[in-house]
Chains A and B, each alone.
Chain A
Amino acid sequence: MARYGPNVHDVLIVGGGGAGLRAAIAVAETNPNLSIAVISKVYPMRSHTVSAEGGAAAVIKPDDSLDDHAYDTISGGDWLCDQDAVEAFVKEAPEAMIRLEHWGCPWSREENGSIAVRPFGGMKNKRTWFAADKTGFHMLHSMFQTTLKYDPILRYDEYFVTSLLVDEGRCQGVVALELATGKIEPIAAKSVILCTGGCGKVFPFTTNANIKTGDGMALAYRAGVPLKDMEFVQYHPTGLPFTGILITEAARAEGGRLLNKDGYRYLQDYDLGIPEDKPVLRSMELGPRDRLSQAFENEKEKGRTLDGPYGAYVHLDIRHLGQEVIDEKIPFVRELCRKYENIDPVHEMIPVRPVVHYIMGGIHTDINGATSLDGLFAAGETACVSINGANRLGSNSLTELLVFGARAGSAAAEYASSQSSFGTRLDALATDEKKRIEKTFFNSNGNRSERVADLRKKMHNAMEQGAGIYRTEASLKTSGETLSVLRERFKKISLEDKSYTFNTEFVSAMELSYMFDVAEAIIESALKRTESRGSHQRMDFPERDDQNFLTHSLAYKTGQEIARIEYLPVTITRWPPGERKYGQ
């Protein structure tokens, strides 16, 4: 439905995962006359939402309450969440989830046919909806298949966005390269929503898919939009060694236990409660992810973890659940363990270690997904509203995609409807961008010798060593210096592949350049936050400091290589900062 002709739309959504597809449907529902395009570097059903396992939180049972969900989220986030955003989130979550049910999502059910819920880490009531342990997969496919019935939603599959088109102070589209042909062209739109997901690939050991390289964050950052709270990187406590494949929190929610090398449930030593036979909400293995990952690091320091070829690990024991429960509630856990670790968790313990999983930070948006740049919106992991604060609770992110994807979609639709014309410079801007890309990557000659894989590996090492679970000023500074050197070296990047046909080396080089921007924002934000809160633990500043840091960090790109950091107070509505208590 090209109302304006090819490559011109009302709303353009970058990214075809959960947030992007939900936004697309919201635009179509807000105004069926708008031309909507979803552009993505992969076919939508390949998006990383597909890998999410455990579930999506929304209050639906009579013994639960919106205030409980809000309190769990805010305390889980160590009081860095904006409470107005959290209140809107928990209030809209149940309807958002029911809509997905109406679109066919195969939620697991109670015997009477109503939605079933399971417990999850940091949540005091059972409120996590699930589709066995392939929740993200089913949500993504249900939504993707549903988008197919909306004629106004067009797709640009396998197009890689290289920059935003900004003219007259408004974002009016993107420049993108079609992977199949190498054609670089402008795609104009009256509003743009970035839904490109997270950036776990900045780190070497991550549950994140290969495509999670922070593209949208870097695109916004380069256009002058600040990145918020980038120092808050979530380590999930249970990833498989070597592959980093996620073993869902649902394994612990169903009763899985974490054991050190002596077979001891070590979480009891870290203020997380006392071990019981049955799982207890907000206690022990159902504590929040930041605290569990930190406990692992401390066990490692004490020499109480096991040693394997890929470093230290502990055991996740689900044997006592029995084959029937495992096959019904967490069959993917068994499938993954058998395929990738060659063990059967019905009979053997699963080796696990903390793994980079999620970034709480992202593009700074308001409660409707709007950024500081007119016409530019963001939703999902790439955005920071913020409902996740300093530590996201498991099962809030899938719901976030729905609630804030829909909000951003409606807001972008309204904004697009209010705009009558495009800027005059779009074609000229696109021509310049095309020249830049061709000169840098395809026609480069002379003294260029740097390889993508080498620089990427060095960036990985720098991030793991300097910006991991525990950080210090010295570790962060060293990593920052390494990054500067690598960015300088990137100016001499050389591609072996000069073909315009499906050039994945080009994509990797662009992704690396995006990751450098994201890494810089993470390091600088972490360096300036001289306190410990949630997932950001500074060994040189071990206490939380509400006096100085009940604030969001905003990282701005400057002409120099180091980000400028500003601060924005956290919005507090009804829950004044308190102590995070678990296991009671």
Chain B
Amino acid sequence: METTINLQVLRYIPEKDPDPFYQEYEVPLREEWVILDALNYIKDQIDGTLSYRWSCRMGVCGSCGMMVNEKPILTCETFLEKYMPGPIRIAPLNYFGVIRDLVVETDGFMEKVKRVKPWIIRDKEKAPLEGEYLQTPEELSEYKQYSMCINCMLCYSACPVVGLEPQFIGPAAIALAQRYNYDNRDEGQNQRNDVLLTDDGIFECTLVGECSEVCPKKVDPAGAIQRYKVQGATEWWTSVLLPFGKK
């Protein structure tokens, strides 16, 4: 007989369930299966009503983040065998509203991403015919790490500050701001400071560092925030002491 493993999956359909509850499923334990394969098995073979997001199945689209045994992970790159002998508890990402089952509200996160102005800002833009902006490999490496974020939102689910202060702009958005701040083609840091040096910005962070622990792409948002704080504090003092100077 095939070995199985027990999955306890948080279920919630707002039209019919007064409260979320854990539903149990027995799925085959196959060495090549990731958590997402088990969820797909449930969906196709056991219970067509289970809802969750997924797409690329190779850890780059950022859709399939969930809490697995209390930890935020990408379910497409975490193997079932890691959780032997089970059970495995699967819940929607922490600190986001739940739309249904394992599907969370994403619009708030998207709004935070937009607020940091994640695009190249320049006083004067070069015409395409003038060719590329030069950027040496060293200049690229200044921000490359921060550009690897896949917007999976695991860092928000790991961040205790997000849990307490939902308006905190959060690790991924700050790392994204830094991705542009450290890009030598960009001149928009002052505009981003207007967002990041406010009450909901970087100073909310208490440097727990969980965001970097759970990041599947080693973006190190905690490092990005720390770098911003050091530099942001200097700029804040400068603006207080020299209010008429260049902000």
Q: Are A104 and B120 in contact (CB under 8 A)?
A: yes
Whether a CB of chain B sits under 8 angstroms from the CB of A484 is no
Given A113-B136, A243-B57, A245-B57, A103–B119 Cβ distance below 8 Å?
yes
Q: Are B128 and A102 in contact (CB under 8 A)?
A: yes
Stretch of A2-10, A61-69, A142-150, A187-195 with 4 or more beta carbons under 8 angstroms from chain B: A142-150
Q: Are A148 and B107 in contact (CB under 8 A)?
A: no
B-contact bits for A158-181, CB 8 A (1 contact / 0 none): 000000000000000000000010
Residue of B55, B128, B151, B183 ringed by the most chain A CB atoms within 10 A:
B55
Stretch of A414-422, A491-499, A565-573 with 4 or more beta carbons under 8 angstroms from chain B: A491-499
Partner of B59, one of A114, A141, A339, A451: A339
Q: Are A501 and B134 in contact (CB under 8 A)?
A: no
Bound-state Cα–Cα, A47 to B60, Å: 10
Partner of B61, one of A106, A209, A453, A503: A209
Whether a CB of chain A sits under 8 angstroms from the CB of B44 is yes
Q: What residues of A have a CB within 8 angstroms of the CB of B45 in the complex? A: 453
Bound-state Cα–Cα, A104 to B186, Å: 8
Q: Are B119 and A148 in contact (CB under 8 A)?
A: yes
Q: Are B101 and A502 in contact (CB under 8 A)?
A: yes
| CB of A547, distance to nearest CB on chain B (Å) | 43
Q: Are B99 and A134 in contact (CB under 8 A)?
A: no
Bound-state Cα–Cα, A504 to B62, Å: 18
Nearest-neighbor residue (CB-CB) of A115 within chain B: B132
Q: Are B180 and A499 in contact (CB under 8 A)?
A: no
A contact residues, range? 35 or more
Q: Are A137 and B150 in contact (CB under 8 A)?
A: yes
| CB of B65, distance to nearest CB on chain A (Å) | 11
Q: Are B118 and A103 in contact (CB under 8 A)?
A: no
Q: Are A137 and B100 in contact (CB under 8 A)?
A: no
Interface residues of B in 49-77 (CB under 8 A from A): 49, 51-63, 77
Partner of B48, one of A112, A180, A451, A502: A451
Whether a CB of chain A sits under 8 angstroms from the CB of B192 is no
- Could you tell me how many residues of chain B have their Cβ less than 8 Å away from some Cβ of chain A? 62
Given A45-B151, A501-B13, A104–B99 Cβ distance below 8 Å?
no
Whether a CB of chain A sits under 8 angstroms from the CB of B154 is no
Q: Are A109 and B128 in contact (CB under 8 A)?
A: no
B-contact bits for A105-126, CB 8 A (1 contact / 0 none): 0111101111100000000000
Whether a CB of chain A sits under 8 angstroms from the CB of B129 is yes
Q: Are B114 and A148 in contact (CB under 8 A)?
A: yes
Whether a CB of chain A sits under 8 angstroms from the CB of B131 is yes
Q: Are A137 and B60 in contact (CB under 8 A)?
A: yes
Q: What residues of A have a CB within 8 angstroms of the CB of B140 in the complex? A: 106, 108-109
B-contact bits for A423-466, CB 8 A (1 contact / 0 none): 00000000000000000000000000001110000000000000
Q: Are A102 and B125 in contact (CB under 8 A)?
A: yes
Bound-state Cα–Cα, A130 to B180, Å: 19
Q: What residues of A have a CB within 8 angstroms of the CB of B136 in the complex? A: 109, 111-113
Nearest-neighbor residue (CB-CB) of A42 within chain B: B55
Whether a CB of chain A sits under 8 angstroms from the CB of B237 is no
Bound-state Cα–Cα, A210 to B43, Å: 14
Q: Are A134 and B137 in contact (CB under 8 A)?
A: no
Nearest-neighbor residue (CB-CB) of A335 within chain B: B59
B-contact bits for A496-520, CB 8 A (1 contact / 0 none): 1101111111000000000000000
Q: What residues of B have a CB within 8 angstroms of the CB of A109 in the complex? A: 135-137, 140
Whether a CB of chain B sits under 8 angstroms from the CB of A50 is yes
Q: Are B47 and A502 in contact (CB under 8 A)?
A: no
Q: What residues of A have a CB within 8 angstroms of the CB of B52 in the complex? A: 504
Bound-state Cα–Cα, A157 to B136, Å: 37
| CB of A242, distance to nearest CB on chain B (Å) | 5
Whether a CB of chain A sits under 8 angstroms from the CB of B174 is no
Q: Are B47 and A95 in contact (CB under 8 A)?
A: no
| CB of A486, distance to nearest CB on chain B (Å) | 16
Bound-state Cα–Cα, A505 to B101, Å: 13
Whether a CB of chain A sits under 8 angstroms from the CB of B14 is yes
Bound-state Cα–Cα, A567 to B168, Å: 59
| CB of A333, distance to nearest CB on chain B (Å) | 12
Q: Are B13 and A48 in contact (CB under 8 A)?
A: no
Whether a CB of chain B sits under 8 angstroms from the CB of A138 is yes
| CB of A158, distance to nearest CB on chain B (Å) | 8
Whether a CB of chain A sits under 8 angstroms from the CB of B246 is no
Given A45-B151, A109-B137, A210-B54, A148–B118 Cβ distance below 8 Å?
yes
Q: What residues of B have a CB within 8 angstroms of the CB of A141 in the complex? A: 147
Q: What residues of A have a CB within 8 angstroms of the CB of B47 in the complex? A: 496
Nearest-neighbor residue (CB-CB) of A106 within chain B: B147
Nearest-neighbor residue (CB-CB) of B126 within chain A: A102
| CB of B177, distance to nearest CB on chain A (Å) | 11
Q: What residues of A have a CB within 8 angstroms of the CB of B113 in the complex? A: 145, 148
Partner of A242, one of B32, B59, B131: B32
Q: Are A46 and B62 in contact (CB under 8 A)?
A: yes
Q: Are B131 and A505 in contact (CB under 8 A)?
A: no
| CB of A361, distance to nearest CB on chain B (Å) | 23
Q: What residues of B have a CB within 8 angstroms of the CB of A114 in the complex? A: 132, 134
Given A106-B144, A180-B99, A95–B128 Cβ distance below 8 Å?
yes
Q: What residues of B have a CB within 8 angstroms of the CB of A138 in the complex? A: 147
Whether a CB of chain A sits under 8 angstroms from the CB of B185 is yes
Whether a CB of chain B sits under 8 angstroms from the CB of A561 is no
Bound-state Cα–Cα, A109 to B59, Å: 25
Interface residues of A in 345-383 (CB under 8 A from B): none
Q: Are B120 and A339 in contact (CB under 8 A)?
A: no
Whether a CB of chain A sits under 8 angstroms from the CB of B110 is yes
Q: Are A46 and B63 in contact (CB under 8 A)?
A: yes
Bound-state Cα–Cα, A496 to B32, Å: 28
Q: What residues of B have a CB within 8 angstroms of the CB of A210 in the complex? A: 54-57
Q: What residues of B have a CB within 8 angstroms of the CB of A42 in the complex? A: 53, 55, 61, 63
| CB of A131, distance to nearest CB on chain B (Å) | 9
Nearest-neighbor residue (CB-CB) of A146 within chain B: B119
| CB of A186, distance to nearest CB on chain B (Å) | 22
Q: Are B55 and A502 in contact (CB under 8 A)?
A: no
Bound-state Cα–Cα, A243 to B114, Å: 34
Q: Are B117 and A499 in contact (CB under 8 A)?
A: no
Given A106-B144, A503-B51, A145–B118 Cβ distance below 8 Å?
yes
What are some 13 contacts across the A-B interface (CB < 8 A)?
Answer: A42-B63, A46-B55, A99-B128, A107-B132, A112-B134, A114-B132, A211-B55, A245-B58, A339-B59, A339-B77, A496-B48, A502-B99, A504-B43
Additional pairs, 8, CB under 8 Å, beyond known A101-B132, A111-B137: A46-B62, A50-B56, A102-B185, A106-B183, A112-B134, A210-B55, A339-B77, A499-B16
